Every structure is written in structure tokens, then in C-alpha cells.
């Protein structure tokens, strides 16, 4: 459901260009009056700036032991408090209702089925306090881009990789030259809307980027804020 463990040592390179989301999630954390939770916390790329900016503990959940080990080391160096758990987001359970649960860097797309996504949304809804927010981002599938890069080798942050699309499964496979592989399953706006509704949440805002530009037909990213009704 995530990158091969062998890829963890190159994650920083792969994610180096993704910085625009940090200020967005930090701002939401500052507005939250209660526990902060990050799903797919990885090496703490977002959680550590959030903990530093708020002066509060961030609960982080991930399925990768290697990434969690990096997060612990980085949090110690940064002198911030992360409460890290090796766990599956589909089994989310908290001791105290959260004010904010967020899932950055398109990590919900590692979930292969709508049922998997629904289970996460339902667990998040159960874990939120009334008025609490669930926030995530995911790319908008673009068939023109998909046709242009399907089956071709490219470089991202100096890492050679190939992208293969399987439309029948809504799946994108990214294979590194070194052999590591990850799969993403894209979702449409109506599918995200359905997940929000079935979990008993309400859409507070939908943006097309982290600058909070209103979402429209030209948007390439879903940046979604859902709220648990009071």
C-alpha cells in the first residue's frame, strides 16, 4: 500500500519539490483546538513543521517501519513531539477525539478500493470531535497527461521511473529503475463526494491548490476540507 521499504532512503529526493502543502496544513493545525493526527505520516515531512509551528504533539500513523524510524530520528533532532504508530489508517482508533485529521501528499490514493477509502473515512469520522476537520489532497486524473506518459521512462528529482496506467482498475503504477514500485488508485470528484456523505461528514471547502483557489474545471488537484457536523 505504500513505497517498498527499500525506497525509504530516497523519499526525501522524491518529495523534495513538494513544499507548498506544508504551510496549508500548518495553518489548519493552528486553527484546531484539540488533538492533531496525520495519516501516512512518512518521515515526518509535514508533521514535524506542524509540531514545531503549533508547539503541540502530532499523532502520526504509517505502515512503513523504515519511514517511521526516520520520523523518530528527525523529530528528536527537531526537538518536537511526534507520537508515532505503526498502523493501518483503515483501523484508525484514538484515545481522545481529534480536532484535525489530515492526510497529505495524495496518500489516500494508495488505498486500492472504494471500500478501503470508505472504511478510512468512517474511522476518521468516528475519531473526530464534533466540528473536527478531515483534510486531504489528491490529484485530478487527467487522461491527456496519462496518454502522454503511459509506459514511458522519465526522471523526477533525479530518480528514473516509469509510469503505467491501467484504466480498468483506475490504477497508476510507478516503477523505479531500481525495481521498487508503488501503485495509486485515482478517484473522481463524485467518488470523494460520496465518501464524505457516507461517513456523515460535510464538505467545508474544496480548493484546486494550496493557495485556496476555488476548485473549477481547470483544477489539477483536489484539496478538500470536510467537517464533522456539530
In tens, the pLDDT along 183-222 reads 999 999 999 999 999 999 999 999 999 999 999 999 999 9
Tell me which residue has cell 478538500: 224
Give pLDDT tens digits for 94-129.
Answer: 999 999 999 999 999 999 999 999 999 999 999 999
DSSP secondary structure letter of residue 91 = G
Q: Residue 51: which H helix or E strand, with range?
A: helix 47-54
* DSSP E strand boundaries for the chain: 36-39, 58-62, 82-86, 98-103, 128-139, 152-156, 159-166, 171-176, 181-185, 202-207, 221-227
- For the record, the C-alpha cell of 172 comes out as 497508476
Give pLDDT tens digits for 143-164.
Answer: 999 999 999 999 888 889 999 9
Give pLDDT tens digits for 49-76.
Answer: 999 999 999 999 999 999 999 999 999 9
- For the record, the C-alpha cell of 180 comes out as 521498487
Contact predicate 39/123, CB 8 Å: no
- Which residues touch 19 (CB under 8 Å, ≥6 apart)? none
pTM for the predicted model, two decimal places: 0.95
Angle between helices 47-54 and 65-78 (to 10 degrees): 30
The length of the chain is: 230
Given pLDDT bands bounded at 50, 70 and 90, which one contains residue 86?
Answer: very high
Contact predicate 184/171, CB 8 Å: yes
Given pLDDT bands bounded at 50, 70 and 90, which one contains residue 3?
Answer: low
DSSP secondary structure letter of residue 133 = E
Amino acid at each position: 500500500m505504500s513505497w517498498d521499504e527499500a525506497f525509504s532512503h530516497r523519499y526525501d529526493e522524491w518529495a523534495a519539490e513538494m513544499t507548498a502543502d506544508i504551510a496549508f496544513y500548518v495553518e489548519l493545525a493552528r486553527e484546531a483546538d484539540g488533538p492533531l493526527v496525520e495519516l501516512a505520516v512518512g518521515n515526518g515531512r509535514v508533521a514535524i513543521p506542524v509540531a514545531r509551528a503549533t508547539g503541540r504533539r502530532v499523532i502520526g500513523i504509517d505502515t512503513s517501519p523504515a519511514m517511521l524510524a526516520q520520523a523518530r530520528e528527525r523529530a528528536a533532532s527537531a526537538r518536537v513531539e511526534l507520537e508515532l504508530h505503526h498502523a493501518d489508517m483503515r483501523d484508525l482508533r484514538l484515545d481522545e477525539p481529534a480536532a484535525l485529521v489530515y492526510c497529505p501528499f495524495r496518500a489516500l490514493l494508495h488505498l486500492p478500493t472504494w471500500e478501503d477509502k470508505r472504511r478510512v473515512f468512517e474511522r476518521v469520522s468516528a475519531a473526530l470531535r464534533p466540528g473536527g476537520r478531515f483534510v486531504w489532497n489528491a490529484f485530478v486524473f487527467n487522461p491527456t497527461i496519462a496518454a502522454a506518459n503511459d509506459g514511458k521512462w522519465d526522471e523526477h528529482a533525479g530518480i528514473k521511473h516509469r509510469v503505467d496506467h491501467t484504466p480498468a482498475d483506475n490504477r497508476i503504477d510507478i516503477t523505479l529503475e531500481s525495481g521498487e514500485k508503488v501503485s495509486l488508485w485515482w478517484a473522481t470528484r463524485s467518488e470523494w463526494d460520496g465518501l464524505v456523505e457516507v461517513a456523515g461528514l460535510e464538505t467545508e471547502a474544496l480548493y484546486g491548490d494550496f493557495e485556496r483557489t476555488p476548485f473549477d474545471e481547470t483544477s489539477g488537484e483536489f484539496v478538500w476540507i470536510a467537517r464533522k457536523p456539530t
